[in-house]
Amino acid sequence: MEVATRKSQPIIAAGQPPAVERKLTIEKFADGPITCLKFVGTIDETFDGKKIAKTVECETLVLDLGGVKKISSFGIREWVDFMTTASKQWKQLILIECASKVVDQLNMVANFAGGGRVFSFYAPFRCDYCDSEQRVLLEVAKDNEAIKSMKLAERPCPSCKESMYFDEDGSTYFSYILGQGSFELERDVVAFLAAKLDYRIGTIDTKLRVDKIIDGRITYLRLAGDLNNTFPREKLAEGLEGTVIVDVTGIPRVEPAGAAEWRSFVQMVTPLVENLLLIGVMPLFLEKLCGPHDLGAKVQVVDFALPYTCKKCGTTSAQTIDVATHAGVLKFATAPELICGECKTAMQCTASEAAMTILPGLVKPGLAKELQRKIEELRGKKLEKKPPTGLVQLPKLADQPAARPGLGTGTIALIAIVIAALGAIGILVYQRFTKPEPGRYGLGAVAARSAPQRPAWIKADAPGEVECANDVGASCVGVSQPLASQEDAEDEASDAAYEGIAFRLTKSDRWIDSIAPQVLEARSAAYAALARDPRSTQAKRDVHDGRHAAARVLRRNSTQVAGRYWEAYDTAEGRKYIAFAQVTIARGEADKLVAAYKKSQTALGATVVDFYPEVGWRFPRLDHGAIVQSLDHGVLQELGLAEHYIVLAVDGHDVADAAAFAKLVESEHAILADRGGQLRLLVQTETGDPREFATTIAGKPTTTPTPHDHGPRSTGDRPPTGGVNVWDRFGGNRGSGRDDPTQ
């Protein structure tokens, strides 16, 4: 049996003894032929490039440069030496997450990339409204059109939600990237990056923002941004006393280094404060930083959020749980029963098991009514934003016309104020009578529609929503977001409707959890993220991808779109379309479809079922395969298969469903049991990208060869048994000949 070998090596200190604070750290990851060096800090003359390069020998070298803060002149010299020496140790070099400082050097210094190619890099953005700077990660393939245009569209600031803009000259900043061109990563590299670095594409790297209010003996801290190694624990802990309230609602991501910094912060402030109260705790923060060993003696969780789903109306949202109110239920690791605000029926909690195990350890906070009132007051208080800078140009004093004799500066100022006030009033009056009505969606009046009247089957019309009824088996209506393309809007609406049908087919028996755990949790998390920030591009993309994956599977059945309708609106950004789609399925057909998905097949000790549509929420790139439901002792268990794995291919032949899996694997095993050779399966495990599992089967013993018999045939001479080869599509050998039975 072939087993993937993964090694991680300790952090390398470049040019610094252990006792001295390191200017640069280099963390090394290795997985077979792929090695990654992750740089964090300053590259200067202490970076011994040649020495570091000699420690690297691999086929693919990945350099993660997102943490590079500065590169000195002597550091550039050492870096070029590093590249020159390392180029003899690898076959291909890939640069990822290049910081702005790195991009600048790529544009100015010859051979700075050492013959490698940049896959992703950060672009600097600025928000004048809150006076903050952000980094946006771009991928050369996905963002190729925007890069070629040398312009990046404005996008919402993660701190204040106002527009921020690209803060560089595109023709200069993109010069090296445009010269090298676009390319795609090989799937084994993608899998490596996901497993080792939790690599993300297209997200905003936001520095943690801290707002502070002092109210008597109460200190209120509001945190917003990623909790990572930049968390300012010493600065934040300085001077804290009395009662401290920390609002962590705005922390979407908790990195391991950030978790360690937070725990150190708690230890530092525990002797200084009377108590430390956490409010707005989100599920991820709850799982990672609210265990008994994290909270200590003085930290208490006042309230937290858990994802809930209403089976009747399809509403999914993050619900706030007050610890004091529900302490009697929480101590049994049980989520409180809550009523849906839309249809007034009981909702079902879809929180992860890790979150539920935290609940019994939450201590009931004994808060006085005055403190409770103060918490709600501070939570709802909008902190004052800085006014935009650079939006209004006031004339310089030298540009003002000379004052007439007899008019003092005070009189001139008064006249200017009166004129400005009258002008402002005139503008407001003009806008009041000329501004068009906002319309149903704030997009203005309907400019065109696909039918004279809206169809009666449209009951709810909130953009991005789906509404379902169960009176005829299942019937769902999906609504798109406002999109520039009519076709895209119709596709998005039908995806939403199809996914609504697929979700209803799960019913209440949670059968889906038995074959693919965490699927409904992934769905709930995606919807909860979108509910928290409806303008988030990433949240919209996650919901879109999950719906599309489920719809792609369900469309292969006889279910068809029963109704379509769209409306067009002329906006300041051009024409926008909102589309509606209705998908229905009869009760009898629904039961047959569920029975077909639950029908199992057994082969070589593995019991499998068809790929279920909702599994697409966890694996949006998949739309077929056989899910392992149970596994008895046998060759497949020895191969490394486990329950919940999804088999995608057998010896390069696509596994369409459970029946195809049983037929392929039994046929292939029978051939190998006779002739010998490798049984190879392409498998989606519970994390990461699909990977290959392989084991050697000995075959029957051979007889002594005769003078005319040159011995048993090599298993490598056995031709393929036919079918469609899918290894390249899912990240196989890509023509290298490795593991190819014909080589």
pLDDT tier, 727 (very low <50, low <70, confident <90, very high otherwise): very low
In this prediction, residue 705 carries a pLDDT of: 52
Whether the per-residue pLDDT at 623 is higher than 90: the answer is no
User: For a pLDDT cut of 90, what percent of the chain falls above it?
Assistant: 23
The answer to whether the CB of 607 falls within 8 A of the CB of 515 is no
Mean pLDDT of 407-421: 51
Decide: helix, strand or coil at residue 587.
helix
For 686-716, write each residue's pLDDT tens digit.
887 788 888 888 878 765 554 544 444 433 3
b/e 169-204 (16+ beta carbons within 10 angstroms → b)? ebeebbebbbeeebeebbbbbbbbbebbbebebeeb
Cα–Cα distance between 279 and 320 in angstroms, integer?
10
For 303-351, write each residue's pLDDT tens digit.
998 888 777 755 556 788 999 999 999 999 999 998 877 678 888 888 8
Q: Give 286-300 as a DSSP string.
A: HHHH-SHHHHTTTEE
For 116-165, write each residue's pLDDT tens digit.
999 999 999 999 888 888 898 898 988 888 898 888 888 888 878 788 89
In this prediction, residue 392 carries a pLDDT of: 32
- Give me the chain's average pLDDT, please: 79
Structural domains in the chain, CATH included, are 6-205 (3.30.750.24), 209-379 (3.30.750.24), 446-592 (no CATH), 600-717 (2.30.42.10)
At which residue do the structure tokens 């292939």 appear? 668
Q: H helices within 518-656, ranges in order?
A: 519-532, 537-554, 587-598, 635-639
Cα–Cα distance between 27 and 64 in angstroms, integer?
10
For 179-237, write each residue's pLDDT tens digit.
888 888 886 787 677 655 555 544 444 567 788 888 888 999 999 877 877 788 888 88
Decide: helix, strand or coil at residue 162.
coil
Strands 299-301, 275-279: pairing kind:
parallel
209 DSSP β-pair partners? 224
In this prediction, residue 407 carries a pLDDT of: 44
Cα–Cα distance between 557 and 201 in angstroms, integer?
33
At which residue do the structure tokens 């239920």 appear? 329
615 Cβ neighbours under 8 A, 6+ residues apart? 512, 516, 519, 622, 627, 646
CB atoms within 10 A of CB 577: 24
Half-sphere exposure of 653 (CA within 13 A, CB side): 18
The answer to whether the CB of 657 falls within 8 A of the CB of 646 is no
Cα–Cα distance between 119 and 440 in angstroms, integer?
43
Decide: helix, strand or coil at residue 615.
helix
Distances (CA, A) of 432 to 426, 445, 451: 10, 17, 33
626 DSSP β-pair partners? 610, 647
Point out the least confidently predicted range of 88-92, 271-275, 408-412, 649-653.
408-412
Q: Which amino acid is at 724?
A: V
In this prediction, residue 602 carries a pLDDT of: 93
